Chain A
Amino acid sequence: MYFKYKKGVSSALILGLALLSGSAQAQAPSLFATFSQSFQTPSFVFSTSGGGASLSLPTPIPVSFQYQTVNGLGTGVGESVPASLTMSSLDGGAAFMDTSFLVQPLKNIEMRFTSLGAPTDSGDLLRVYLTTGNLIARPGGQTARLTGTESATGNSIVNFDSDYLDFSQPLVNKNFAVSFTSVAPDISDGGNGFLAPFMATATGNFGSAPLPPPKNRIPEPGTLVLAVLGGLALAHRRKSVSP
């Protein structure tokens, strides 16, 4: 009888683990964070020098950062968190024209969002590192986009890290998109193999599959009790059904 009981509990646990594993393998990426500049100053600078080019923030800028998933910071989903953003990158080769877009490849793209708000007033909300990405814009336009995707079809390697989300588990379809407006001067070919220098303001969003869980998350005692009770109920049911 003891073994039957134990077998029932084990089956319930295996079933639960299989369900969890199944959801972790889902391939559809989900949104876990967004940001927007807190002020309208065009702070992002695309510049060329010394035979190279970069898109960066010369100084950290204030942004409004939002987790779109449960996080270890203790803020609600969609709640605005004041943060400081730093960014740097290097060119990944010459710009080229494709369909109606000028595409400027970039590499070593790093973005870091550091919390400026309560309760911790410190810590990195999100760190992003891409091996490669693309700055895409239409000639004559005042808008642009910086994007990267790590997937079977996307070519970037995207690494996320955070003090409040756990990125230690394997993730797929990691991606991010940053949109720029107020681009000045208008987008054009710089004539030196790169886009012409410009300044702009930005918003952006980040996603992956599955959603990263909160960091340092410890299941509440109530959750553990419910899980055990569920297991026991399943075992008991199996026991009463079996001849």
Chain B
Amino acid sequence: MKSLIRVTIAGLTLATTFSLAHAQTVTFANFQQVGADKSFQFLNSGATSTFVTKDTITSNTTIPVNFTFLVDNGSGSMNTPLPANLTITSVVSAPATFGATVSQKLQSVQMTFVGTGAVTGNLLTIFGSTGTIGGVLGEATAGLEETNNGGSQIVNYSSAYIDFSGSTQRNYSVALNNIDAPGLANGGNGYLASLQSNATGQFAANGIVPEPSTVFLLGMGALGLCTCRRKKNQHC
């Protein structure tokens, strides 16, 4: 029993040291759109404008993507594109700022990736208290991004496969392109003009570990080892 406690303490110390040593964020997942429908849309309706996913033909608000975990996630799917459904919802928080670039502030940004293949369930859910769509006016490209600063900008993640409870820094960036002419523009009512676009994106955090079941399996392994050693000593 003493051995088990020692092993557990050693494991926990290692995990803690690892987490603290990796204060810098790592990009743990990314996604690529499947097909070329311009499903990433900013819909200008003044103060109730939204940025959402919406299929231009079917009006479905859930669209197919390939989602990839870039870290061990307990599902054995690291670096393997997984089919998933993505839903994005958000609303504007204030009128946009215009210069050579445009900055359109959003709030309540939620992105949900649900696995539709061998790996199912909540691959990743992002909740951002804020977000910003921005880019150079007139260009066919833009981006949606946010960095958690622990204050006015909160980015939270949840997943059935990754435990984010030890994470203190989180950021995401979505690249939008193929915005129709005239490109990124002033909507004339203080907000960004409506747009339809394609997208890829990625997500980063520090202090991430595979979700608890993996830790549980590691614990079981340690227990097994201790039992083996104990039995061996008894034979001696």
- Chain A contacts to B: CB under 8 angstroms: 27-32, 34-40, 42, 64, 66, 68-69, 77-78, 80, 98-101, 103, 134, 136, 138, 140-145, 147-149, 151-155, 173, 175-184, 186, 201-207, 211
Residues of B within 8 A of A42 (CB): 26-27
Nearest CB on B from A46, distance (A): 15
Q: Are A78 and B177 within 8 A (Cβ)?
A: no
Q: Are B177 and A98 within 8 A (Cβ)?
A: no
Measured in the bound complex, the distance between the Cα atoms of B173 and A141 in whole Å is 11
Residues of A within 8 A of B100 (CB): 98, 103
Instruction: Provide the main secondary structure of the chain B interface.
Output: strand
Nearest CB on B from A62, distance (A): 9
B217 within 8 Å of A (CB atoms): no
Instruction: Provide the main secondary structure of the chain A interface.
Output: strand
Q: Are B141 and A148 within 8 A (Cβ)?
A: yes
Given contacts A142-B169, A151-B140, contact A136 B134 (CB under 8 A): yes
* Closest CB pairs A-B (n = 8): A153-B138, A179-B175, A177-B175, A179-B173, A207-B178, A177-B141, A175-B140, A143-B173
* Max count, chain B CB within 10 A of own CB: residue among A69, A77, A145, A148: A145
Q: Are A38 and B79 within 8 A (Cβ)?
A: yes
Q: Are A181 and B33 within 8 A (Cβ)?
A: no
Q: Are B200 and A179 within 8 A (Cβ)?
A: yes
Measured in the bound complex, the distance between the Cα atoms of B25 and A186 in whole Å is 11
B156 within 8 Å of A (CB atoms): no
Number of B residues contacting the other chain (C-beta, 8 Å)?
62
- Chain B contacts to A: CB under 8 angstroms: 24-28, 30-36, 38, 66, 68, 70-71, 79, 81, 97-103, 132, 134-143, 145-147, 149, 169, 171-183, 198-204
Q: Are B27 and A29 within 8 A (Cβ)?
A: no
Q: Are B101 and A145 within 8 A (Cβ)?
A: no
Q: Are B79 and A39 within 8 A (Cβ)?
A: yes
Residues of B within 8 A of A173 (CB): 140, 178, 181
Q: Are B204 and A142 within 8 A (Cβ)?
A: yes
Q: Which residue on B lies nearest to A185, using beta carbons?
A: B24
Q: Are B180 and A201 within 8 A (Cβ)?
A: no
Q: Which residue on A lies nearest to B203, using beta carbons?
A: A181
B132, B176, B199: the one contacting A100 at CB < 8 Å is: B132
Residues of B within 8 A of A29 (CB): 140, 177-180
Q: Are A181 and B138 within 8 A (Cβ)?
A: no
Q: Are A99 and B98 within 8 A (Cβ)?
A: yes
Measured in the bound complex, the distance between the Cα atoms of B202 and A42 in whole Å is 12
Measured in the bound complex, the distance between the Cα atoms of B135 and A227 in whole Å is 45
A142, A153, A178, A205: the one contacting B171 at CB < 8 Å is: A142
Mind listing 15 A-B residue pairs with CB under 8 Å?
A29-B140, A29-B178, A34-B200, A36-B32, A40-B26, A98-B99, A134-B136, A140-B149, A147-B136, A147-B139, A147-B143, A154-B140, A181-B25, A181-B172, A206-B177
Q: Are B175 and A204 within 8 A (Cβ)?
A: yes
Given contacts A145-B143, A181-B25, A182-B171, contact A175 B177 (CB under 8 A): yes
Q: Are B145 and A66 within 8 A (Cβ)?
A: no
Nearest CB on B from A131, distance (A): 14
Measured in the bound complex, the distance between the Cα atoms of B219 and A241 in whole Å is 84
Given contacts A149-B141, A175-B141, contact A201 B177 (CB under 8 A): no
Q: Which residue on B lies nearest to A142, using beta carbons?
A: B171
Residues of B within 8 A of A207 (CB): 140, 177-178, 198
Residues of A within 8 A of B24 (CB): 182, 184
Measured in the bound complex, the distance between the Cα atoms of B198 and A204 in whole Å is 10
Residues of B within 8 A of A175 (CB): 139-141, 177-178
Nearest CB on A from B26, distance (A): 5
Nearest CB on A from B225, distance (A): 30
Given contacts A147-B141, A182-B26, contact A136 B177 (CB under 8 A): no
Q: Are A179 and B202 within 8 A (Cβ)?
A: yes
Measured in the bound complex, the distance between the Cα atoms of B33 and A30 in whole Å is 12
Q: Are A153 and B30 within 8 A (Cβ)?
A: no
* Max count, chain A CB within 10 A of own CB: residue among B26, B135, B141, B204: B141
Residues of B within 8 A of A201 (CB): 26-27, 202, 204
